[in-house]
A = this chain, B = another copy of it.
Amino acid sequence: MQRTEIATLGEFGLIKHLTENIELKNESSKYGIGDDCAVMQYPAEKQVLVTTDLLMEGVHFDLTYVPLKHLGYKAAMVNLSDIYAMNGTPRQMVVSIALSKRFCIEDMEAFYDGLKLACENHGVDIVGGDTTSSLTGLAISITCIGDADKDKVVYRNGAHDTDLICVSGDLGAAYMGLQLLEREKRVFQSQKQEGTAAEDMAQPDFAGKEYLLERQLKPEARKDIIEKLAAAGIKPTAMMDISDGLSSELLHICTQSGVGCRVYEERIPLDYQTAVMAEELNMNVTTCALNGGEDYELLFTVPIGCHEQIEQIEGIKMIGHITKKDLGCALITRDGNEFELKAQGWNPLK
């Protein structure tokens, strides 16, 4: 692959090269890249939503198996998912990158290709950012801005006793994808240590596990679910996206809403590949689904009266219900036992 040093373009040249074909598509995007600030204008009835994520190499991603195009796509999705989790529509994004000398222009092109694809698919304008250098790894900071009608914004604190707990898609697959990639990385490294020639190395066999890889490397923020709920006239009472794991997120909703919950193990949506992989790794698949994280699915609560409507929406599963606070937060296992839910999800600072 060609390798062109970033120094040949410099900061301003690189930014220009990566962003010159960007066209602003949202009515609210008034001025994009090129001045001290991006300029937006929103109608008075809209509320403006802002979310930000900082992704660090070695902590949030491992470039030995994550292609930069996928990284760009995922970095965008992580932020888009937070806008949808407020029942909003993402509109703009500012993207900052700090890179070391080991990255070349072609690397940044690949990253931006992924980023732009994600933005295109979700109707988002890249309106600014910062490009600078790093002494060590890659750092990516994205801030995403969206809007929503004032009466449509959904917080984490609105769940009520008897509400139904719903989740989109299936859980635990991204975590299984990560385990799979980490396993293959270990195999590769031990072969390398043993001095195996490149052509003799065992090639990773991902057959039958494509879904797990896709969920880890190319997650998709659930715009479709927000649209389906709106079409059905349903406004969730509380909502958030599942990034740290179902348990952790459910506890956030319950704490902030001042309620308890009951979740049924048998109702937690799992993909077949997730179950097979958990078996293969001798892990409990429910634990993976509860605590794995990086699902970027939506977790939300709706009034019990929405039961039939929700049942008819494809891709949404009712997994339990909200209770009074003093009943606590518990998982009901397949055999009818009750376990207290604990946040064992990803915590970068523990």
Binding site for B on A (CB under 8 A): 6-7, 9-12, 14, 30-31, 34-44, 46-54, 56-60, 82-83, 85-86, 88, 92, 94, 96-99, 127-137, 139, 141, 143, 145-146, 150, 153, 155-157, 239-241, 256, 347-350
Contacts and interface: CB of A to CB of B under 8 A. Distances in A.
A50 B97 contact: no
A349 B36 contact: no
Contacts of A14: 349
Given A39-B153, A40-B48, A98 B54 contact: yes
A58 B100 CA distance: 12
A141 B54 contact: yes
Contacts of A54: 96-98, 130, 132, 139, 141
A71 to B, nearest CB: 16
B36 A50 contact: no
B6 A56 contact: no
Contacts of A349: 6-7, 9-11, 14, 99, 131-133
A52 B129 contact: yes
B128 A59 contact: no
Contacts of A155: 31, 35
